[in-house]
């Protein structure tokens, strides 16, 4: 399996759809050039290599997006992925407290609002 195929499998697993449907969604949302870059990136070591689990990786991504700020829609998507990958609502909220300490309360408070809103929307709270 090549890197692109592995990336499509990762996106399919994250979206809960076949790799073919994940490809269609990504191309429709972002265009083929951007989607191809995303498939290649996801098919590399970011979501494949040991020793981190997908749950671990999802928590890291949520923390990074929260700390970065200004990417609330991506954060919203990755909260759902984190839950699908085994993270709990309590872990996600605790993570935002940790982000507040290291990245600052303004960004973490916005991220906490997104996390709590998404948890409620998904019925996880």
State the alpha helices, DSSP H only, in 1-125: 3-15, 19-30, 32-41, 54-68, 72-84, 89-103, 105-121
Question: Per residue of the chain (125 residues), what is the pLDDT tens digit?
Answer: 889 999 999 899 888 899 999 999 999 999 999 999 999 998 888 887 789 999 999 999 999 999 999 999 999 999 999 999 999 999 999 999 999 999 999 999 999 999 999 999 999 98
Reported pTM: 0.87
Peptide bond into 51 cis (omega under 30): yes
Which tokens is 23 given? Answer: 């490809």
Measure the CA–CA gap between 25 and 73, rounded to whole angstroms. 16
Q: Taking the domains of the chain in order of start, what are their residue ranges? A: 3-46, 54-121
For 54-121, CATH number?
Answer: 1.20.1290.10
């Amino acid at each position: 399996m090549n890197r692109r195929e592995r990336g499509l499998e990762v996106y399919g697993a994250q979206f809960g759809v076949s790799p073919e449907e994940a490809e269609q969604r990504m191309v429709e949302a972002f265009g083929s050039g951007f989607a191809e870059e995303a498939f290649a990136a996801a098919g590399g070591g970011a979501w494949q290599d040991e020793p981190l689990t997908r749950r671990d990786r999802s928590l890291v991504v949520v923390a990074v997006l929260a700390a970065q700020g200004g990417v609330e829609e991506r954060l919203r998507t990755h909260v759902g992925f984190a839950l699908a990958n085994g993270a709990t609502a309590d872990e996600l909220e605790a993570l935002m407290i940790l982000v507040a300490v290291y990245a600052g309360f303004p960004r973490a408070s916005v991220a906490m609002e997104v996390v709590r809103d998404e948890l409620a929307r998904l019925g996880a709270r």
